[in-house]
Structure 1
């Protein structure tokens, strides 16, 4: 899984952190949690604020 797979990342984060409000997750934790996903395999240098915002919004939409 790569940083561009925002929807899949959001689904997996919602499954791994069901009690977490994604709107309250800071970007440092969001990046760490994403990179810790078992299927994730991408360079941290390819991640930026826009990518993290997209992941966070997709996660919010996933649990809404």
Structure 2
């Protein structure tokens, strides 16, 4: 499966499964951006991952972790 920045929920699920030792409430956007780009199957332009999409991913990840 190829992930794009618009796949917010799928990205959040992948991060929740892979980063079990991380509390998503305290992740900075530089780390979050890097982790998303490094996900297997991620196939989008890294530069498209702006603050709004990172906020959406972080929010979805927080919900997934609860």
Normalization by structure 2: what TM-score?
Answer: 0.94
Runs (5+) with no aligned partner, structure 2: none
Say how many residue pairs are matched: 64
Q: Where do residues 31-42 of structure 1 align in structure 2 (5 Å cutoff)?
A: 31-42=33-44
Measure, in 2, the Cα distance between the counterparts of 1:25 and 1:41.
Answer: 22
Q: TM-score, normalised by structure 1?
A: 0.97
The one of 15, 18, 29 aligned to 1:16: 18
2:60 corresponding residue in structure 1: 58
How big is the alpha-carbon RMSD for the aligned residues of Structure 1 and Structure 2? Answer: 0.5
Q: Report the Cα distance in structure 2 between the residues aligned to 1:2 and 1:28, rounded to whole angstroms.
A: 18
Task: List gaps (5 residues or longer) in structure 1.
Answer: none
Choose which of 37, 43, 48 in structure 2 pairs with 1:46. 48
